[in-house]
Chains A and B, each alone.
Chain A
Amino acid sequence: MNSIIEMKNVSYRYPVSEDWNIKNASFTIEKGKFTAIIGNNGSGKTTLCNIIRGFIPHFYKGDLEGDVIVDEKKIVEYQLGQLGEKIGYVFQNPFIQVSGVKDTVFDEVAFGLENLGVEENEIIDRVNEILKLIKIEHLREKHPMGLSGGQRQRVALASIIVMNPDILVIDEPTSQLDPIGTEHVFDIIRLMKEQGKTIILVEHKMDLIAEYADNLIVLNNGEIVLQGPVREVFADPRYGEYNIQYPHVTEVALNLQRNGVQLKYVPIRDEELSESISWSGVGEGAYD
């Protein structure tokens, strides 16, 4: 397995901050894997994304220690402009995530490709394809500043995906979306994964993470407290200590366990619940 992102003992603090915002973080992300970063508010998820994307140290100052290696090259050796093609970054606030110079959604999505110097006909083809994929074709002639939060979030995602980066860093892409829109974004992320892209996602919706993600990194106060395959992390008894939400089904199963029901394993997906319960320990009536 080849790693595409590697962090070795990375610590960082913002210029005016006294405490370290990220403390001694080390992890490896393999090419083509879907990694979710979770943690409570203020635990350093966005900061970690900024480090991966290279905005730290290229854009934000402050102290960065340790090595960040992207595609076998240290992040400090890249130019910020070069990273644009390699790592796509969709960040949290959808209201500011528009170029501010384009009059239609179509042009807005095309902006990144124009900057990369892609030939015009190819731009038109690629933008059309992405608009269809993200299902925002009906917005193509709308003004980007006149869209709702959810619509803007999808336009922002489209604007990044269209540039076809190898690595996608996505920071809470569904915060403004309804459940259907959220499912849809996860469908797109899964599609991106099938195309072999490496995905790093910050998200609070654990049910969807359990369903789609491969690996999990749990942050607490700037420290990586748990990391590994999703199933192992959720099943880890230490996970409960950090007051982070479980997937609903896991929550239910763990409650049952506390009340004396035997579990064969800790379920993380809805359909696993009945299978995971060791029925031999339950009374006969449960079968009806």
Chain B
Amino acid sequence: MQKNRIQQLHPMTKFFFALLVSAAVLIIPGFIFSFLVFPILLVIATAAGIVKEFFGTVMKALLFLLIIIFFMQLLFYPGDHVMGQWGIFKWTEEGLNYGLTLTSRILAMGSAFILFFRLTEVRDFVKSLEDAGLPPMGAYVVLSTLQIIPEMRRHANTIMDAQKTRGVETEGSMLTRAKAFIPTLTPLILSSISSTEERAITLESRAFSAPTKKTSLHKLTKSTADRILPFVYIIILIGLVLWRILR
């Protein structure tokens, strides 16, 4: 995969950016700024060439949640300035304000982190955590999970096929399929547990617990931008806090 300048940034630089956005929307009151964050993120995503995937993930992950939260707050947030009524439901100005603030913040934070994970490969992120002091064991757990899930799905399909050949009904109505699914769980879980043992032996035979310091072929480099940007973030953050206090 060809990486552009934004994707090439150090994972930590991108991670701190997501944190900065989260902090900023909490510091700045009201919802106008927070709603502005999303278009800014869209611009960054466009510059990084991933705007389509980014927008798609945000819609899938957040839209439904935001709508529900907005209406819950609108209708049930306590307040005196009633704006309208429909049956037993009435909405207030306070509710509207709070609903917008909350949804704008969730949208900003959520999309900032979605952007982060869209821009960063998990492998790189884990590596940067490892560089920052995460023990190799922890890094292994995170990374192996990523590979084991598709492997388990494949395994579940194999088990289902095996049961199909023995005459278990696996197609048809929802109920039939649900019934067919349950008997696959036992072999799937049991075999996963037993393969854990072999996995541990594999790691051991590759000297995973050797009492030496590990090296790594996978290297992350820090560019000039990676050295400057964190300071820029800190200055912005201090500026925001001061502005909030002094205002």
| With A82-B210, A114-B217: A100-B148 Cβ-Cβ less than 8 Å | yes
Residue from A96, A120, A145 in contact with B217 in the complex, judged by beta carbons closer than 8 Å: A120
Which residue of B has the minimal Cβ distance to A89? B205
Choice from B147, B204, B208 contacting A55 with Cβ under 8 Å:
B204
Partner of A93, one of B151, B198, B205, B210: B198
Q: A120: which B residues are within 8 A, CB to CB? A: 215-217, 219
A83 to chain B, nearest CB (A): 8
Partner of B216, one of A114, A124, A145, A160: A114
Q: In the complex, what's the smallest C-beta–C-beta distance from B10 to chain A, in angstroms?
A: 19
A145 to B151 Cα, complex, angstroms: 8
Contact between chains at A117 and B148 (CB < 8 Å):
no
Give the residues from 18 to 56 in chain A that come closer than 8 angstroms, CB to CB, to chain B.
53, 55
A111 touching B206, Cβ below 8 Å = yes
Contact: A96 with B206, CB < 8 Å?
no
Instruction: Determine whether the beta carbon of A107 is less than 8 Å from that of B206.
Output: no
Main secondary structure of the interface of B (DSSP, over half): helix
Q: Is B88 an interface residue (CB 8 A)?
A: no
Total number of A residues with any Cβ neighbor in B under 8 Å: 39
Asked whether A96 lies within 8 Å of B199 as measured between CB atoms, the reply is yes
Known: A91-B201, A96-B195. A112 touches B206 (CB 8 A): yes
Known interface pairs A114-B216, A117-B214; A100-B207 also in contact (CB < 8 Å): no
- How far apart sit A264 and B88, CA to CA, in the bound complex (Å)? 107
Taking a contact as CB atoms under 8 Å apart, the answer to whether B205 and A160 are in contact is: yes
Q: Which residues of B contact A119 (CB under 8 A)?
A: 215
Q: Are B206 and A163 in contact (CB under 8 A)?
A: yes
Q: Pick from A59, A110, A163: contact of B207, CB below 8 A.
A: A163
CA distance A85 to B212 in the complex (A): 11
**Chain A proximity of B76: nearest CB distance (Å):** 47
B147 touching A101, Cβ below 8 Å: yes
List chain A residues, Cβ under 8 A from B217. Answer: 107, 110, 114, 120, 123-124
Which residues in window 71-117 of B have CB below 8 A to A?
A: none
Interface residues of A in 105-122 (CB under 8 A from B): 107, 110-120
Q: Which residues of B contact A101 (CB under 8 A)?
A: 140, 143-144, 147
A97 touches B202 (CB 8 A): yes
> Closest CB-CB distance, A155 to chain B, in whole Å?
12
B209 within 8 A of A: yes
Taking the complex as formed, is B242 at the interface, i.e. its CB lies under 8 A from any CB of chain A? no
Question: For residue A113, which residue of chain B has the nearest CB?
Answer: B215
Contact status of A115 and B204, CB under 8 A, knowing A80-B209, A145-B147: no
A88, B198: Cβ atoms closer than 8 Å: no
| Chain B residues near A79 (CB-CB < 8 A) | 209, 211
Residues on A with beta carbons closer than 8 Å to the beta carbon of B150: 145
**How many Å lie between the Cα of A96 and that of B148 in the bound state?**
11
Query: B-contacting residues of A (Cβ < 8 Å)?
Result: 53, 55, 59, 79-82, 84-85, 88-91, 93, 96-101, 103, 107, 110-120, 123-124, 145, 159-160, 163
List 10 additional A-B contacts (Cβ < 8 Å) besides A91-B205, A100-B147. A79-B211, A80-B204, A84-B207, A84-B209, A89-B205, A97-B202, A112-B207, A114-B214, A120-B217, A163-B207
- 12 A-B pairs in the complex with CB atoms less than 8 angstroms apart: A59-B201, A79-B209, A79-B211, A80-B209, A81-B204, A82-B211, A84-B209, A91-B202, A101-B140, A111-B206, A116-B210, A117-B210
List 3 A-B pairs, minimum CB-CB distance, nearest first. Answer: A84-B207, A81-B209, A117-B212
